[in-house]
Structure 1
Amino acid sequence: MMTSIDTSLLLSNKPNTARTGNSNLGKDEFLKILMTQLQNQDPMNPMEDKEFIAQMAQFSTLEQTTNMASMLEKLINTQTQNDSILKYSEMIGKKVEWKNDDAENESDIVKSIKQSEGGILLELENGEEISNDSVIKVSKPD
């Protein structure tokens, strides 16, 4: 008696399913796996001390790397914010020229710089505030 293989069951006929979610294991998942492994180990053949210590070292390294990446990201964000205001602070005391809403050029001297949610604002001696994006020329005052 000869049996045939149902070709619809072959893996090559299965549609590719998109995976959602994070494919990287974090420290919480690693700890859950380790705890499950310890709870379900064979009591007659427990995990070797060396294996357990190696896994704990991996966990510690993972946690430290995660913390370091988080702190580095915070540092980069802080530096980026501070760099922009420091960069534009060099314009204090300089004459800037910009286009107003009527597409006419105006000029005045920068009194101060401030950071807002929309970006960097230049406060001029006449009390007006303009965006750094509208500046078309910077020069020494007359």
Structure 2
Amino acid sequence: MNKIDPSLYIHNQPKRTPSPNLGKDEFMKILMTQLQNQDPLNPMEDRDFVAQMANFSSLEQMMNMSKSIDTLVQSQLISPVIQYSHMIGKEVSYQTFDEDTGQKKEIVTSNVIAVSQKDGWAIFELENGEKIYADSVLQVRDKQTEGESSSSESKGSG
């Protein structure tokens, strides 16, 4: 009579912790195990195999889409104040409009002294007391660079 090897008893097997997530690697392992252990007299039909491969492809696409959505959500969580904080100290030019007629008046230039937000939009607070939306800026200049170029221009013309 053959004896049963005690190492095969369930309580002597190493403990495994199942993963709560079924990813593409686990799905492929299941599929490969299924193919290796199929009945040779009654193998898996082609359409079953194709259906499982389609499920695998869908799973992979959903995982990639989930990662893309997570990235999008994280980028949307960045505050406009943080996104535009580098504009503090920059000189910006913007178009002014006549409030009554809506006609363009003039292009005004001022320095950004603070950045705030309203309804998710960045607002620049300017040295001249105006507050403008970030998307209304026509031109951005570094104050120091502009000062250096105007002083070199005045030297050349004199």
- Say yes or no: TM over 0.5: no
Quickly name the TM-score band, shorter chain normalised. 0.3 to 0.5
Asked which structure has the greater CA Rg, the reply is 2
Q: TM-score, normalised by structure 2?
A: 0.41
Q: TM-score, normalised by structure 1?
A: 0.44
